[in-house]
Amino acid sequence: MKTMEWRDKGLDLLDQTGLPQAVRYIRCTSAEDVADAIRTMKVRGAPAIGAAAAYGLVLGTISLECGEQAEFIRETEKTANMLGSTRPTAVNLFWALERMVKAARMAGVEKPAEIKELLLKEANNIFREDLEMNKKIGMYGNKLVPNKAGILTHCNAGALATAGYGTALGVIRAAHEQGKEIHVYADETRPLLQGARLTAWELMQDSIPVTLITDNMAGYVMKKGLINLAVVGADRITANGDVANKIGTYTVAVLCKEHGIPFYVAAPGSTIDMGLESGEDIIIEERNPEEVTGIAGHLTAPEGVRVLNPAFDVTPNSLVTAIITDRGIIRPPYKDNLKKHYNKEGNNGLYNKGYKACTVRETKNRLGKGTHAGSE
């Protein structure tokens, strides 16, 4: 099962809104096709969105007939801005688009045909690098998984959220590949049910034993002694080791503390934002109330009820046992140990400042420093 595949001047995208009932691919042959797929969440998960947007930019420039470089770049930026307007929070989207536009600008060639080639190469690199980072996360994380472990996970930080293999599910995949007899408990993850729809499905595809539970059963399964560790993805990790991730992650971490269960966060280094001191600096996106008042279009709550719908919560570093990155396992004190692996030139608040790709011409190359996230 592939989340996306570049094939014959088009992008095949697995339509995640149809999962798990329908496994269907949509064919994108224009930047608009890709923008629509991101907007309607046919593709979701920050790294997956980033890679899709990069290919979207390739599609947007593929048919440009303009003869000179300056004009070509202007058109490329225009398309990038259009793609960047599809989702407000996924930093990886802006990061990937910026990286693409930068590649075009720095091409050092005059012929658009050559720049087009460079753009496809860059999109392929973004895709391939994400996959490689996930494999490394899996390799390191596997060391933390005992044989016969019961593993709790939340949301979908899997192959479906990335170029492949996944972050939290990458750790689980690696342990399974090593022959460990693990059993995964997947929180269904309300409101959008990524755990039920995507994680359970993805693990079943790979024959990894999984049991689906509602979010409020996590405490029950821990108290029953069924869980040996929890592993989740991240949307952003600040310099002190605080972790922003899908709503409900914080509750899982508190439950782990109560039961003496290790709580791990799996994320590529690019998720670590050394420019933000702590999780308190992160603005939490509030999403559409209809996600809470209904399920799959079916209204389940009284009309007009007041609703809270934060998309993320912040887990304080004190609850995080270790962060599993593509550069190794990082343990507390995070402030010191994150610094050893990641320099100061992190995201620098990209996420909070409503940053848009290609609108700032003079930014430094952020290659590898955007937010890769393991969930929405």
Catalytic residue positions, numbered: 235
Cβ closest to a copy of itself, residue 112 vs residue 150: 150
Distance CA 375, CA 226 (A): 24
Could you give the string, one character per residue 143-172, with x where binding to a copy of itself holds by CB under 8 A and - elsewhere?
-----------x------------------
Q: For residue 187, what are the β-bridge partners?
A: 213
Touching a copy of itself, residues 204-243 (CB under 8 A): 204, 209-221, 223
Q: How far is the CB of 39 from a copy of itself (least distance, A)?
A: 22
Distance CA 169, CA 172 (A): 5
Taking the CA atoms of 256, 349, 53 and 41 in sequence, report the sign of the dihedral they define. positive
What number of CA atoms fall less than 13 Å from residue 271's CA on the CB side? 33
Rule CB under 8 A: choose which of 26, 62, 64, 295 binds a copy of itself.
295
Q: Using the minimum distance from each CB to a copy of itself, give the nearer residue, 54 or 182.
A: 182
Out of 106, 286, 301, 345, the only residue in the binding site for a copy of itself (CB under 8 A) is 301
Cα distance between residue 116 and residue 139, in whole Å: 35
Which residue's CB is nearer to a copy of itself, number 246 or number 366? 246
Among 174, 247, 338, 357, binds a copy of itself (CB under 8 A): 247
Nearer to a copy of itself, 96 or 253 (CB): 253
Return the number of the residue (44 or 154) whose C-beta is nearest a copy of itself: 154
CA 71/CA 111 separation, integer angstroms: 11
* Helical spans, DSSP H, in 90-238: 91-105, 112-142, 168-177, 194, 200-205, 218-223
Cis bond before residue 112 (omega within 30° of 0): no
For residues 143 and 266, is the Cβ–Cβ distance under 8 A? no
Give the single-character DSSP code of 310.
B
Q: How far apart are CA 171 and CA 48, in angstroms?
A: 18
Please identify, among the stretches 88-96, 138-146, 198-206, 361-369, the one whose residues bind a copy of itself according to the rule CB under 8 A.
198-206
In sequence order, the 6+-apart residues with CB closer than 8 A to the CB of 159 are 1, 3, 165, 166, 169, 202
- For position 37 contacting a copy of itself by CB under 8 A, the verdict is no
Only one of the segments 62-70, 292-300, 339-347, 366-374 lies at the binding site for a copy of itself (rule: CB under 8 A); that segment is 292-300
- Figure out which of the listed residues 108, 179, 260, 302 binds a copy of itself, where binding follows CB under 8 A: 302
Q: In whole angstroms, how close is the CB of 266 to a copy of itself at the nearest point?
A: 19
Interface region with a copy of itself, contact rule CB under 8 A, candidates 116-124, 158-166, 246-254, 362-370: 246-254
Least Å distance, CB 130 to a copy of itself, is 25
Which residue stretch of 86-94, 162-170, 253-261, 357-365 sits at the interface with a copy of itself (rule: CB under 8 A)?
253-261
Q: On the CB side of 175, how many CA atoms lie within 13 Å of its CA?
A: 28
- Which distant-in-sequence residues (6+ apart) come within 8 Å of 49 by Cβ? 38, 43, 87, 90, 92, 93
Look up residue 169 and give its two tokens.
């599910």
Scan residues 168-197 and list those touching a copy of itself (CB under 8 A): 185, 187-191, 193, 196-197
Q: Decide: is 22 part of the binding site for a copy of itself (CB under 8 A).
A: no
> How many chain residues are in contact with a copy of itself, going by CB under 8 A?
54
Q: Which residues bind a copy of itself (CB under 8 A)?
A: 20-21, 154, 185, 187-191, 193, 196-197, 200-201, 204, 209-221, 223, 247-248, 250-251, 254-255, 257-258, 292-293, 295-296, 298-308, 310, 313
